[in-house]
Structure 1
Amino acid sequence: MNDEEKFLKVWNDPALFSYNFMEIQDKNDELVPFKFNKLQRDFMENMSRYNIILKSRQLGFSVMICAYAIWLAITTPNSNCLMLSYNDESKRAIFNKLKQIYKSIPEEVKPKLLRNNRSELQMENGSIISCSPMGNVDKGRGNTCSLIWISEFAFVKSDVAEKQILSLEQALNSKGKLIIETTANGLNFFHGMYIKSKRKENFYKSFFYNYLDGKEMFLEQYEEARDTWKNLHNNVPFSEKDLKDDEKELLKNYPNMTLDVLCWRRLKIENSSEDKFNQEYPISDDVAFISTGASVFDNKRVSTVLQSILLNKTKYLKKLEIEDLPQELEKFYGRSFFMYKSPTPKAKYYIGVDTAEGTKKDSSTCIVLAEEGEEVAMFKNNAIKPWQFAEFVNILGRYYNKAYLVVEKMSGGHSVIERLRYEKQYLNMHKYKSYDEFNRIVYNIGFDTKSKTKSLVINDLREMFEKGQLLLHSAEILEEMKVFEISDNGSMGAMSGYHDDLVMALALAIVGLKSHIYYAW
């Protein structure tokens, strides 16, 4: 490879360009070549057009994206890079990083600056890098951008974030990149975007980086924590006998976890709280999001169970593992319908059924519970019509040994009950007693959800969950439990913008389980 080829290789690679031409301050405030770390390289090599990054603090993403913007502006004339953050102070910090990195580049490599003010670098090659807080002004309008970066997006007010994001997406040029990068900040608009990206329900590619991924960035802090522990404990080092149960699980489940890291984690938590630590330094993306409202379910237990499901890589049964799966169930399998256990002969099963209208808003859901409280199957679909759902529930119930059905009556539930009972002759269904105008007893099929009955069934669910009497396999149920709250007036339900269809189906299945009724036919 001749010199020209070597130069072009460096010129066309942001990581090589940064290492050869840029300098940053190290921990001793000395200027050193900017060499991308493992996480920075991973993102650069795998980013897409639309990217969303959830991360631990202090992993070096801000300085990496600043370097990428400068590389893009220098190597691609007439580039427009828009750098956004949640407030003025954060914007100033980003712009100062930009200027420091740009200043470190050799004069013969970088274009001269035509403008260098408090928020913009304009180069003589026509490229512009501008920094701005998000605010209420439409940032995307009138721009055609090669790069848009939103730093700490989770801290932007949800109404502003929702308003701005569509405009910013439209402002990208044909080869442009949009990067959303942030630590978590509760259950807000960013949380919804990130969860959808994980499920591939939007066109963003999701990335998650925990504090172990960037372990080398914290080495001095680990050493300081180790020394602090010894000073507090008569010079006795932190050891395995000091570990709590959750710390033992972390040591067992994460190969690069060490006692030094756990000592640092322990002291960080003691200085604030476990919830705060998990938000700032998440080990997994599911523990990063903390509900700030009046959660009905214990956040710590929800996060622990969810983490266990993800760590154990709980998977639904493969089609080949299931015998005699009816065609009506098979056509939904792996998309809307998932089984964790096949039906056992003579076993009793209880199915909670929550019906929606099939308009792609709320979802029609089923949870199948075994008699011991284990979730054995789950269905969730937001497009299925009530009459189609009735067909599905009929086959599902019969497949699970003519299971006991608890069907919620609201929305399309009446239609589902009518079809199941009178058209399909399904007899093993929940009933409740009421009185007519002549004080005669009337038995009604289904479950009538009112504020009082909803409170009762949700509290039954909460009790069984917190006592460890439920074995759940679907991560989506736990995600709904995280956003299930009680309002000031006592009503229960999902936070605004979220859903609770699976939670309600689970609560209905527990109604059946606790009734100890099973009609044979």
Structure 2
Amino acid sequence: MADVRITLEQEAQFRSWANDPLKFINDVVQIESVTPVLDAAGNEVLTASGRPKVVTKVVPFKTRPYQDDVITRFLTTQVCAVLKARQIGLTTCACALALWLLMTKPNRFILVLSKNDRDAKKFMRRIRFMYDRLPPWVKARGPQLTRKWGVEEAEFDNGSIIFSATSSSDHGRGDTPTDVFLDEVGKMRNQEDSWSALIPATEAGGNLWMFGTANGYNDWFHRMWKGWVDDPDVDTIFYGWDVVEGRDGSWASQMRRKLGEALFRREYPATPDEAFVTSGSNVFSMEVLAEITPTAGRRVTIGKGLDGTLQVVELESQDDEFGTFIFEDPILGEKYLVAADPSEGLVDGDPTCIQVLKQTPERIEQVAVLRSRDEPDDTATALGILAALYNRASVIVERNNHGHTVLKALERARVPNVVRGSGGRPGLWTNRGSKGQNIALTRKALADGALILHDARTIDEMMGFQEKITASGNASYEGAAHDDHVDALCMGVGYAVSYAITERVAEVKSQETPHPYSFDGLMARRPFRRNRII
């Protein structure tokens, strides 16, 4: 670059760019433009492999009005979060803005975090593509690379550095970046740890600019977004599908025919709520759940009166965080079951949830919910009280982890009608297979209108409950911060659908003498075997 001479006009122009990123980008930044090849009828031409044939060419980057808006708001707000539809060019904007910072601002440490290694390297390739195609005099006038442009980082002699990596808990700790770009913030890894690692950067005056598409209802990004909307220190922006020029009703109709209504709404949402509701691999029907109007249950306490009968007292506080909430009082002659997902009772751990369900021949209805941070012994007491209140309901407890302690406490308290699993042991053992079966039965009951829900927390958890496919191809399920309401509900519905609830557990256990050489007969002759009915 030593033989490139800078004219006075060029020097003045370069200096003017220092305070005008939009002018810099529109004047000298170039990008790749990929356009499909169309035939005479306007249809896409396909390659031999069936993929659309495209033409790639280098064109000047001429920003659109919404891109001007996001760049301006990035530079005037320390923390900015953008929720967007797909394919509106915000990543390209971020690359151009990062290049402007490197070329015009000394001593910048720019940290780019992407959802995976491929995207991190792609971000750097885009910036290098823009840099390599700057006019020679601009590169000569601007800062010089101190070493060859790397796959993950580049450093200039004005002290500015850019580093691009995957989002994880390590990046951001120990360093204080001046500018952080979070690409696809909703899909970044280790979201809680990554976020906590980046907070010190903002406290030190650094900028935090986030953008991405939604990735599920009530997930980390959705919960954070709802908080950011009410936070005066965070600028939140939503760009829907129609922000791009040319995307009108005709375009939307064409895309709906190609993708279908559900996929179109997921890829090209029109509102923030639609973006989160339609995104992710939702297990339960979002359309059905969205139509449910939650019922404000009565927050009560239940105890024994002086005469030994159960007394239900309604509490003045209707705080729905923890407590027992009744949506329908017990009806004489109806059949009920009580399903529990117990926890250890720690303050920062998962809460305990108990679902009370009424089953009729036509449907299963949620009639009460208990949520608490009770220890296992207290959970057993609550189960016994709810079961007694609701017509001596069947009691279903997961025989995993803390469920063992709850079951022992139920045995000591002689709570009747505790459901037994295989082998006659109290409680139901759950694994990937049985959990998947319970989820499938609950999903079908909801879709068929056979499951009636009232509790807002349960509905909210179900809307955030996602199906994930592991690397081995198996399905796994995960909710938002907690999914205890869903676990308890699915266990109860799965049992109600799979077994006749009218049969009491004590009656299910066969009183017939087993064949002496059958498994039950052999086990019955073992001197240490004791059959207990709780």
Give yes or no for TM over 0.5. yes
The answer to whether the aligner puts 1:89 opposite 2:122 as a matched pair is yes
Map of 2:461 onto structure 1? 476
Instruction: Measure the CA separation in 1 of the matches of 2:186 and 2:366.
Output: 33
Which one of the candidate residues 194, 197, 200 is aligned to 2:221? Answer: 194
CA–CA distance in structure 2, aligned partners of residues 461 and 410 of structure 1:
21
From the CA coordinates, give the structure whose radius of gyration is larger: 2
Structure 2: distance between partners of 1:306 and 1:39: 33
TM-score using structure 2 length:
0.58
After superposition, residues 98-497 of structure 1 pair within 5 angstroms as 112-115=142-145, 118=149, 128-134=160-166, 139-140=171-172, 143-152=175-184, 174-183=204-213, 193-194=220-221, 197=224, 209=238, 213-217=240-244, 219-220=246-247, 222=248, 258=249, 260-269=251-260, 280-281=267-268, 283-290=274-281, 302=283, 305-310=285-290, 312=291, 314-315=293-294, 317=296, 322=298, 333-336=319-322, 341-343=327-329, 345-346=331-332, 348-359=335-346, 360=348, 362-371=350-359, 372-379=363-370, 383-394=373-384, 396-397=386-387, 403-420=393-410, 423=413, 427=416, 429-432=417-420, 446-449=427-430, 457=438, 460-472=441-453, 474-480=459-465, 482-483=467-468, 494=477
Distance 1:418-1:175 versus aligned 2 partners, 3 A rule? same
Q: Over aligned residues, Cα RMSD in angstroms?
A: 5.6
* Change in 2 beyond 3 A, CA 1:265/1:452: closer
| Whole-angstrom distance in 2 between the partners of 1:484 and 1:421 | 39
Higher share in helix: 1
The answer on whether the counterparts of 1:94 and 1:131 sit within 8 Å (CA) in structure 2 is no
Q: 1:146 to 1:206 in 2, by over 3 A?
A: same
Q: Indicate conservation of the 8 Å contact 2:280/2:466, yes or no.
A: no
Deviations along 1:256-278, one digit per CA (max 9) or x if unpaired, are xx5752432222459xxx66x66
* Cα displacement string for residues 340-363 of structure 1 (whole angstroms, at most 9, x for unaligned residues): 934365465433112122355554
Whole-Å separation in 2 of the counterparts to 1:432 and 1:97: 67
- What residue number does 1:6 align with? none
Asked if the contact 1:39–1:214 (Cα under 8 Å) also holds between the matched residues in 2, the reply is: no
Distance in 2, matches of 1:374 and 1:486, equals 37
Q: Give the gaps of 5 or more residues in structure 2.
A: 1-17, 36-58, 303-312, 505-534
In structure 2, the residue matched to 1:252 is none
Q: Which residue of 2 aligns with 1:233?
A: none
Instruction: Provide the C-alpha distance between the structure 2 equivalents of 1:330 and 1:446, rounded to a whole number of angstroms.
Output: 35
Q: How far apart, CA to CA, are the structure 2 residues paired with 1:316 and 1:47?
A: 40
2:508 equivalent to 1:507: no
Taking the aligned partners of 1:410 and 1:137, their CA distance within structure 2 comes to: 31
Contact 1:352/1:406, CA 8 A, preserved across alignment: yes
Amino acid at match of 2:176: T
Per the alignment, do residues 399 and 70 of structure 1 end up closer, same or farther by CA in structure 2, a change over 3 Å counting?
farther
144-153 or 191-200, which moves further after superposition?
Answer: 191-200
Total equivalences in the alignment: 424
Gaps of at least 5 residues in structure 1 are 1-13, 223-257, 291-298, 436-441
Note if contact 2:461-2:486 (Cα within 8 Å) is conserved in structure 1: no
Secondary structure at the residue paired with 2:490?
helix
- Taking the aligned partners of 1:350 and 1:44, their CA distance within structure 2 comes to 54
- Partners of 1:387 and 1:73 lie apart in 2 by 61
User: TM-score, with normalisation over the residues of structure 1?
Assistant: 0.59
**Distance (Å, rounded) in 2 between the aligned partners of 1:155 and 1:481:** 14
- Work out whether residues 54 and 183 of structure 1, in 8 Å CA contact, stay in contact via their aligned partners in 2: yes
Cα distance in structure 1, aligned partners of 2:88 and 2:113: 19
